């Protein structure tokens, strides 16, 4: 999709719908459950243990960070006049489309519909900010700068992976299920 085809975000009502769809829709599952399962498999943080209460804390932690990050991104992207949505390219080579995925994770279209792209400040502040805030409820062992950088970077890679699913899954689904 070219910049001229990007729909404008004219008001807070539409932004609110985008936010609600992210926080309550499939993206919440895609970004929360795998992280919880990985944390449970490696018993992270180990202070929470392997009891059902530890699993519940891991799920609440993952969803809390996800939702918090989306709300922070919502506010910062609105102030920075960014469109927080991912726009699928849907055509071209796999390498070109993969480049599009990375570009559209770290850059965003202006929300006024003008041409070009700019740094996705809202997305980055949302991802790193949610981890920074989460350190307040995580065990003390996780309240370090190295944890902040590591897990914030993993969060950005997760956003990239979700965008890759948005880009490639419709084509894969059509091929797998023979839909024309």
How would DSSP label each residue in 91-102? -S-HHHHHHHHH
> Of the candidates 141, 131, 172, which has an alpha carbon nearest to the alpha carbon of residue 43?
141
Contacts of 19 (CB under 8 A, 6+ apart): 70, 71, 74
Q: What is the pLDDT along the chain (180 residues), one digit of tens a residue?
A: 544 555 655 577 878 888 899 899 988 998 899 889 999 999 999 999 999 999 999 999 999 999 999 999 999 998 999 988 898 999 999 999 999 999 999 999 998 878 899 999 999 999 999 989 988 888 988 889 998 999 899 999 989 999 999 999 999 988 888 755
Distance CA 115, CA 100 (A): 16
Rounded-to-5 percentages of helix, strand, coil across the chain: 70, 5, 25
Burial class from Cβ neighbours inside 10 Å (0-12, 13-18, 19+) for residue 148 reads middle
Question: Dihedral of CA 159/83/64/153: which sign?
Answer: positive
| Residues constituting the chain | 180
The vertex-15 CA angle with 13 and 16, nearest 5°, equals 65
- pLDDT of 6 reads 55
- pLDDT of 9 reads 59
- pLDDT of 14 reads 79
Is the distance from CB of 19 to CB of 25 less than 8 angstroms?
Answer: no
Question: Which residues of the chain form beta strands (DSSP E)?
Answer: 82-83, 107-110, 118-119
Any idea where the domains of the chain sit in the sequence?
Answer: 8-176
């Amino acid at each position: 999709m070219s910049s001229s085809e990007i729909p404008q975000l004219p008001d807070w009502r539409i932004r609110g719908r985008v936010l609600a769809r992210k926080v309550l829709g499939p993206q919440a599952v895609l970004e929360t459950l795998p992280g919880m399962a990985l944390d449970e498999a490696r018993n992270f943080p180990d202070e929470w243990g392997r009891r059902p209460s530890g699993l519940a804390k891991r799920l609440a932690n993952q969803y809390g960070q996800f939702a918090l990050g989306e709300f922070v991104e919502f506010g910062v992207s609105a102030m920075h006049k960014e469109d927080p949505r991912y726009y699928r390219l849907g055509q071209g080579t796999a390498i070109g489309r993969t480049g599009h995925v990375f570009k559209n994770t770290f850059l965003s279209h202006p929300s006024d519909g003008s041409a070009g792209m700019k740094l996705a400040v809202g997305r980055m502040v949302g991802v790193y900010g949610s981890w920074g805030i989460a350190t307040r409820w995580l065990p003390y062992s996780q309240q370090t700068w190295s944890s902040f950088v590591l897990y914030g970077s993993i969060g950005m890679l997760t956003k990239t992976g979700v965008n890759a699913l948005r880009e490639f899954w419709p084509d894969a689904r059509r091929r797998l299920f023979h839909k024309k």
